[in-house]
Structure 1
Amino acid sequence: MQPIFAPYPQSRFRRTRRTGAIRALTRENTLTTDDLIWPVFIRDGSGLREPVASMPGVARLSVDLVVEAAAEAAALGIPAICLFPYTDPALKTADCREAWNPENLANRAIRAIKAQVPDIAVMTDVALDPYNAHGHDGLVVDGVIQNDETIEALVKMTLAQADAGADILGPSDMMDGRIGAMRSALEGAGHKDVAILSYAAKYASAFYGPFRDAVGATGALKGDKKTYQMDPANSDEALRLVARDLAEGADMVMVKPGMPYLDICRRVKDAFGAPTFAYQVSGEYAMIKGAALNGWIDGERAMLESLMAFKRAGCDGILTYFAPDVARVLRAG
């Protein structure tokens, strides 16, 4: 695009900023509740709301309260909720077998939500870290994460979640070839309408710390995840990964984290035109929320500005812990 404008004073850019009405008419991007997916943490028990210290305002919820949260989200116009389990440490094993237990915490929550709030889309996490005694997203043998053996486990996890009624599966493990294996398994089991939102470009980031606290993986993790998550220095690789996942049957793709990787969001959307999402991860949320609570920034304005950045970068939607707060602000405004 080659902009054409008259020289000053015939051209004054401030004319289109002069009033709220004119700014609204010339605004290039819009944030709505349709853009939001709300990540929530679930735990065993009943009537339990357990605050996550490193994520002010976020709590682990028992299944009954997660159902209430889903109903709240639907009432606010939020189209989807994403479930992350806090697994009892006693159920974490080296073979991660709890991941595909039909009665595990995540699968019970899926069924409960779909029974009470059928119109909200339920998204799940497909990765082994909540169930892994080693804290990794894949099976570990002699300190090495096993790619192909992990895929076999992820396929079993995929089918268990689809059987429970999940609408969208979110493979966040970054194993090579898992999308194709998951898609083939879903088709073979008759789950042809279950969507895959692939964490296609997931970086080995320092911004995940509070999330690991929330799911109880911080103490379990041995080493780091740099052999399977992306190097933060790379961007061309992200496009290759997205291309591969789309070719294997992903319906939507995600960039994670969000704000530090807006350039990747833009490149992905421009290159493929596929539904593109970003995850405003726990560290991003905690920084904004913590600064706001200390009075260092205007929390509401920073929240909205941060989310508009994703839309400006080409994202079709955002996973954000701010989702209900944003929805209330948008509704009031």
Structure 2
Amino acid sequence: MDMTENLRPSGAHPTDQDRTSYAYGNAAYDGSTAYDGVAGGYPPPPPYAPTNNHRRAKRPVALLAAVALAAAVVGGGTATLVGQLNNGSAQATGFTGTVQGTTVSQSSKGTVSGVAEAVSPAIVEIGAASSAGKSTGSGVVITEDGEIVTNNHVISGAQQIEVTLSTGKTYTADVVGTDPDKDLALIKLRGASGLKTAALGDSSQVKVGDQVVAIGSPEGLTGTVTSGIISALDRDVTVAKDDSGSSDQGQGQGGGGQQWPFEFGGQQFNGDTGEKTTTYKALQTDASLNPGNSGGALINMDGEIIGINSAMYAPSSSAAGSGSSAGSVGLGFAIPVNTLKADLDTLRAGNNS
């Protein structure tokens, strides 16, 4: 049947309804004008384009679901990816499988082994020789060319400093700056490049009960890893302040059983801190710390440095009766990393407080 055929029944007459004008194309149709080539005077229906909105609407949803499913299979990142897509962000393409600022893989995140594997290469052993003997401590590499943070009492009065990396390679180091008031020091390796560095975290975010990992060189055992929790915050710890090297605090970190003298709660531990002392706010941890851990790292489970280990309590052995060390009893202290970050410019300037 011709689509333009007049479908009005034979003999039918127009109704008495008012004629209404309709816009059609570029002319107005009032119901009485006959169109060329059209029987009956009625215009042909307008050519409507076929629509497929229902089918098209489903395709982006299906695509989003497929992408989210693929992200879940590869790296468990569905929630992050969908959230970024909903916000119109394209940052999801930058995901590399590591926690930003560290090298702890997603599969190992939150494990002691994962933290140890990622951060151990940035922890070094420091040997400091002076007229009083040789001390052993630890340090944290913070730049690829060999800037290392440690405790002031580790290198205090040292005439020569030798640093051993986790690989066994050794370097000679020079003192860049010290801050005895905070028991911090910065040294620099000679001729180093391309070193593995540690990421500095935010100690203001640390909470009591957080899991932590300690890495250092207790008794010269390089790269020793222990773990525990944060036991308390803002402990007032007092340690010896001595740039001349006349005290034993910095000289007993190797063998011989001597400890880090410090004061806490009005009492002295591990010996006499001397007349020159300094007090700082410290993180308390039950992670095992022993002589040689001084200057090493206290690390959160994302692999970020949150403190520099500085003091621990080790009661003397009653069996020996000679004041020899009985080892760690889970009472250790670390200088918050935010204290270090605030002091870095001063240390790099070579200022010795």
Tell me if both proteins adopt one fold, taking TM over 0.5 as the criterion. Answer: no
Structure whose residues are more often helix by fraction: 1
- TM-score grouping bracket, smaller chain normalisation: under 0.3
Identify the structure with bigger relative contact order (alpha carbons < 8 Å, sequence gap 6+): 1
Normalising by structure 1, we get a TM-score of 0.24
Structure whose residues are more often strand by fraction: 2
